[in-house]
Chains A and B, each alone.
Chain A
């Protein structure tokens, strides 16, 4: 029987925990889902960016006349004529406000920086116009590597965590150790490379602006744009119903997006500006490179005595974001003495930004490699060593974990993967074709964060409901998961709930980042639904004509569109009847989702996992292939197993990519990224990706938040990168400490 284009679902019982198909799925599989660049308002013009080919200096001249003369070009926007901004784009008035280039002057701070915008009738004319500008520069010498001269000790790293942390006496711990390992690991600069390039369609009407652009943070974007333009936030309407991936790069508004808005202002017509793929390597963030030195000490019995995780990383010359790679060492392994320290250099590059598992991804590949190196020193199996150093409480703070089913993750992962019989020594295993085989393990971890979110729920007279919050679905399935949570909170079937999202006019749902979105927005919806039900209940209980009259607030349960007496569920009535009798069209509830500050005071809140990887390597040629991955993850309550599994898979592939494939190759002299395209910047193709398995380990967390939800979007990278690195060592006996692992490093 053919499936119709408006698919319906079949489920039993509660929506939460059901593997429902995506609500937005039909739109996506038929090509009807409208992403930002798919919009084409009447009168629209196309804008193309011209970007700098030098990394430092100034633009001395632009051939504006040549660009203007090109048929179809309507206007050229440069620092000379761009509409004024109310705020300097370099003003930092908040922690998540990043300096951007919006044509404020002729300075060049990194290669790929926007230096002009050409606006034309067609995309081709705009693009060619940009080429005809033929910029001339005054170039200065650049610094691009981690050994640059401008070294400093940062106070804060990542999204505002203290850089230095100490617990116990690391030097004493190392001195007293029976065994010591000191190793330095290097991770490259990486770019998010979401498949959807950043895009914006901007349309002005007087002082009101409507913008179609992918955003992981609608409220932030609205505030930032409003501030720059000197307008009240309510004048800015941002629509972001669909994002083609974000991974952090769409969390803050970027210079190019602001330029699209200004271009529309300049020409008085709607403007569409879409970044070309090569323009995604500069103005929209990246993961900064790191060089990490791990020093470990262990006693006779394999117990860690000390752990020092030092990170050198890089930021731009004009703003700070430092990859917080050492954070994993705060939480993963029980050592009586732990220290994490940083230093950093300023480079002639764009400013880094949070990129999927910022800190955890880069830090865990180093830490998990070092742990394995120490396990080898101690003559212990890597799993045995990790269990020996299992942290029952958070090592740095001493706090108990709100939940930690990591032992179950190890146990279930090991059983499914088949770890038994793994030789301790490397280069012992081959397959039937003579390929080297290696097995490696990595522990996965990610903090369970929440931001602050709001939601609104409305029960209507016809018995259906509306749930809305400005949530962001960049592919993680937020729409579906959140709709499930909303439906359950309203005691309704999911098809009876209209779910609205992805629009700045809706309540602020918090940023879709930090794997926090389902918890934040979901709990806001949960409370909004509960609030609406509570108000409905009050109405009913006060009404003599209602079967619920006098039932008492706790004495009522909402199910299937009806309120029922808890003491006698045969007595109840429908939402529709309650509202009709009260003469109301609808009743509204509001809710907030935020972490209760008491929770992090008392508990350490993290998701955990264990990833097991198998790699095969050609012994002579060194080509590597990850052939099997099993990840077992514990992340509290799982709202939608199907969607969660997808997130784990996606994260695991990023982990493979981290270990084996992706890196930005920057020319040291020019500061340009030389592989700024998807042909040479290697993200895994599907033949790189082996059989994948994700085990959803059951975990119940009564503390972290009212729904016990922890995040799943980023954890997949964290154990996997290390597991693959360790598997490569196990296959070859060669310990490569620079990532991605290059073929030539494995030639013996």
Chain B
């Protein structure tokens, strides 16, 4: 569905945000992008939607439907955005104009494009919201953003994203601002969408959350992909030390028995990355080669990709 080849993004001052990323999204698949701050995960989402600032340095290709998104003209881009590829991000409150009611904003693009009349658009939006678990959708349609609770607002945001029936939806930390129970509700909704045929890119810092919904995951660290494979491979049996570290240091209800191990060190400053493998200062297995040579992504025998000198041997 979507193929990203060698995507590199740098800030105008030269700081690298993403380095040489290549991943693909299949039909009916949920691809997880796991990373902390500075990992480049949000940059990736913005790059796909071409929402990066104009002076950002973008290289590589993002192929959708046979065409490179990065090379589309403005009018083609406007057509793709929203109708083919949509994006939901963390803060639904800032996604809506506070002075307009929620409903009109959900249907706005379709109505202005004259794809649908207002009455039909409203009916479809209400149906959509009901399907997403919004209680009393007629009233919610006419509500202002601040009148809705966090969970409802996020669903309205998803309704806005889904309204034009896109093929791909990018969700950037969609549940981070929500309670655990609301998050569980939303995950259930998202599962429903997946069964309905939607392909999704699910961006999160919560590896446990990713394991409940994603089919494949890519683990990013300081702009580079460290591990890429199916959830069973990467999360149940992680190979890259960063992935292992993330899993061991995520507190879960069973972690007290398993033992919570903290990863040492700090996230690196993108402006001054460590030499060699950028994870080496924090890696318990680092050796001389790790300190001097930045490892390439290599394919292992089970089909996953790992960027680690120590892992290349376990083929």
Partners in one complex: no
Which residues of B are interface residues toward A (Cβ below 8 A)? Answer: none
